Chains A and B, each alone.
Chain A
Amino acid sequence: MGNQNIAIESDLLHIFPDILFHDERAGYEGYIIKPAHLLSFMQRLRDDLGYDYLSSVTGVDYLPEERMEVVYHVRKSIGGSPLVVKAQLSRDNPMISSVVSIYPGAEFQEREAWDLLGIKFEGHPDLRRILMWEGFSGHPLRKDWKEGYFEEDGKPFKSRWPAGHYKSAEEKNPLGTNLDFPAGFNPESWVPEPEVALYAGLTKIERKDEETGISTEQVIVNMGPQHPSTHGVFRMAAKLDGETVVGLKPVVGYLHRNHEKIGERNTYLGNMPYTDRLDYFNSMSNNFGYALAVEKLMGINPPERAEYIRVMMAELTRIVNHLALFGFLLNDLGAYFTPFLYAFEERELILDIFEAVSGSRMMCNYFRFGGVARDLPEGSLEKIKDLVFDRLPRKIADLDLYITNNEIVRHRSEGVGVLTPEQAIAYSTVGPVLRASGVPYDLRRAQPYSIYNRFDFDVAVRYHGDVYDRYLVRLDEMFQSLRILQQVLRDLPEGSIQEGKPQYQVRVPAGESYGCVEGPKGELGFYIISNGKPNPWRYHVRAPSFINLTPLESMCIGSKIADVVVILGSIDIVLGETDR
């Protein structure tokens, strides 16, 4: 397959003469497409060349060159590395055709690029802001946009040393003068507008029964942002016909903190603990993806022992995540907190290990470029062995025994929220959501990273695409993770855990890189552009929780409002990552 890939890729320039060019910049890969031909190119890429799976769409602001770039990572659902295609636009009025008609999975990602970078996508069905609120002025990821407590473009700030006379941000910007309004805006006389644009997508229809003469009206119900079933601050505006959902728009961004802008201010190393806070259940696998992306740019590889420890932590994290999800999902199904606490008991034992190894239960910050922070402390390996060989298999089998065939669980979840394999690929879903729809796509096999090609494990896959299968896929995955862990523990070599000397100021050569891991929620990617300075020029997170929400509406239409809770639970979102 590898050879075939190369053949097609060398042919690409022949298939698309005069519209496609190699990206010749040092450290860059992929192709540059003329923006006017984007749609016809993407259409052929998908239909004739097998690139049916759009992984990521994002933008980059090249302020010094007065240019805006849209970057597409397109994959084949049969595996392989992504094809990177870029379109270069003018910075003053960046405009490009939307690819939503070809890859529906681009919908939210293009909205994000519009919101944060101001790139207009012509032909997008619903181009509204997504993370910032309607009425926000400016596009925060543009390089000339500055935040409220702006100090300097990049850390470390000069005011901290050697004359670091402490001054809090509030002192420097006292209340009342710390706000910056657009010209002509008066907060006293401002009346909030109803969310016209949001509800425009949910037009109500009135129906009249001919026989009885009773007319029924559809109602719009807002679930969230403060609703226990949304697992955080997430809102769904659902249009209901009786109890049946006929339309649904997710509203996100309540936890938005512009993680990417913060990342661009941070040093490379300084950003590692911030990645912990994306999907706060799985800080280890967030660290993993970020470390891979930066290591690719630096051209270093961690030593053997560090690789094994990394895989060990990533797989333990997967078990933690799926256990937590089982707890939450069963809460959503009405099994109030008993199964949740049983699942959390196992999670606690794994977090004890994380605490002993990394120093923190959830915000692990354990990975470093070219290794891990420290070796396993004495005694923790025995604890891990006890869990992996004895307790976890027993307890997960228990969960299987008590939940899997429980009639209430099955009645509530079978046939609910169905996503067909074609839809799952088109909507760019990843992880267990994709695999429950019968697409055996797992990055650990599709584009093996780290040392995953050494281990014997199966890609868990189920074929009905409903909530029940998403549950089963995760159950299977936990057993597969245990299999990997058992091999890791068998083969774990002695040796160093860090390549070279630990450095606090890493030198990252100019270029771009995309590092991705199969996190517990799916493909978690970090797209980084370096210009050789201590801070990244662009830092983008391809967040699985965010992109997996794209098909939420089509999964919910036709089901009852009570099922929406379960469907959302089965996608497994964490708002820290969705909203970034």
Chain B
Amino acid sequence: MSDQRDNYMFGLGVLKGLGLAFRHFLETYLDDIRHWGKRYKSPEGIAYRASKDVRGIFTVQYPDEKIPVPEEFRFVPFLIYEEKDGVNEYRCTSCGICAKVCPPQCIWIVRASDPNTGRPIPDPADFYIDIDICMNCGYCAEYCPFDAIKMDHNYELASYERTHNVYDKTKLGKPVSYYASIRPINYQREETARIEAESQRAVRKSHA
């Protein structure tokens, strides 16, 4: 680019700037007319305002409108349980990898043990996450070998008291169907991998 230092636009710059603001103002109303009745509080309208084609005003009027979050969006972990005959079976085996990898160390796990033998059993007796400390990095979900802990999509967690922010096992637990609904692509991929692994195990068993 050439040196433009002798290229003043006296008075014109201010007018040009005002013109731009005015154009933007007009475009907002033109957009309103073009998308009559669909620009606000409708999924198409929100998608349009978050797209590259938006011309007028692009603000989304939260909380009346909410931008849908992408699948990978992560906010505070939850524990997955499978509903079997009315009992919630947590996938967690209390292996402790999430507690070890957690950067701010906000995960606390009490490993369950057999009341008769005292030996540890793969099930969490207690599972706490202090969500005041959680930094939403997503490592627990990323490194969990059992797909037992995943990141949630719910970002509206305001509460009246700080003590409400230590989530225990019951509050953290959510059914598999919920996981499948917020992260369908990931869920599908993991299910396919699991079925494949199981069939391979079956093949190995029949060979043995």
Contact = CB atoms under 8 A, between A and B. Distances in A.
Interface of A: 155-157, 159-166, 168, 266-267, 269-274, 335, 338, 342, 345, 348-349, 352, 355-360, 363, 365, 373-374, 377-378, 383, 386-387, 390-391, 398, 401-402, 404-410, 414, 472, 476, 502, 504-505
Nearest to B12: A407
A363 B135 contact: yes
A312 B208 CA distance: 50
Given A377-B70, A502-B143, A166 B13 contact: no
Contacts of B10: 407
B136 A373 contact: no
B111 A345 contact: no
A161 B9 contact: no
Interface of B: 1, 4-5, 7-14, 16-17, 20-21, 24, 50, 52, 54, 58, 69-74, 94, 96-97, 99-103, 105, 107-111, 120, 126, 128, 130, 135-139, 142-143, 151, 166, 185
B135 A273 contact: yes
9 pairs of A and B residues whose beta carbons are closest in the complex: A164-B108, A406-B13, A162-B111, A161-B96, A273-B137, A270-B103, A356-B70, A359-B74, A166-B128
B195 to A, nearest CB: 22
Given A269-B101, A408-B13, A410-B8, A165 B110 contact: yes
A201 B112 CA distance: 63
B109 A406 contact: no
22 contacts: A155-B105, A156-B101, A160-B96, A160-B108, A161-B109, A162-B96, A162-B109, A164-B109, A166-B128, A270-B139, A342-B24, A349-B50, A355-B69, A355-B73, A356-B70, A377-B70, A383-B52, A390-B52, A398-B20, A402-B17, A404-B4, A406-B13
Given A161-B111, A360-B136, A406-B17, A504 B130 contact: no
Contacts of A504: 97, 100-101, 139, 143
A345 B58 CA distance: 8
A165 B108 contact: yes
A406 B9 contact: yes
Contacts of A270: 101-103, 139
Nearest to A159: B108
B111 A360 contact: no
Given A360-B73, A360-B136, A365-B138, A386 B99 contact: no
A166 B166 contact: yes
Contacts of A358: 72
A356 B185 CA distance: 13
A209 B130 CA distance: 66
A160 B99 contact: yes
Contacts of B142: 373, 502
A401 B16 CA distance: 9
B155 to A, nearest CB: 11
A391 B110 CA distance: 52
B135 A156 contact: no
A178 B5 CA distance: 60
Given A161-B99, A161-B109, A405 B4 contact: yes
B110 A164 contact: yes
Given A156-B105, A359-B151, A504-B139, A408 B14 contact: yes
Contact of B110 (A163, A335, A472): A163
Nearest to A404: B4
Given A162-B94, A407-B10, 17 more contacts: A156-B101, A160-B99, A164-B109, A164-B128, A166-B128, A273-B137, A273-B139, A348-B50, A352-B70, A355-B72, A377-B71, A377-B72, A402-B13, A405-B8, A406-B17, A407-B12, A472-B1
A273 B151 CA distance: 15
A365 B58 CA distance: 27
Nearest to B19: A402
Contact of A266 (B103, B108, B138): B103
B136 A168 contact: no
A269 B139 contact: yes
Nearest to A273: B137
A360 to B, nearest CB: 6
Given A156-B99, A164-B128, A402 B73 contact: no
Most buried by B among A270, A349, A358: A270
A160 B111 CA distance: 10
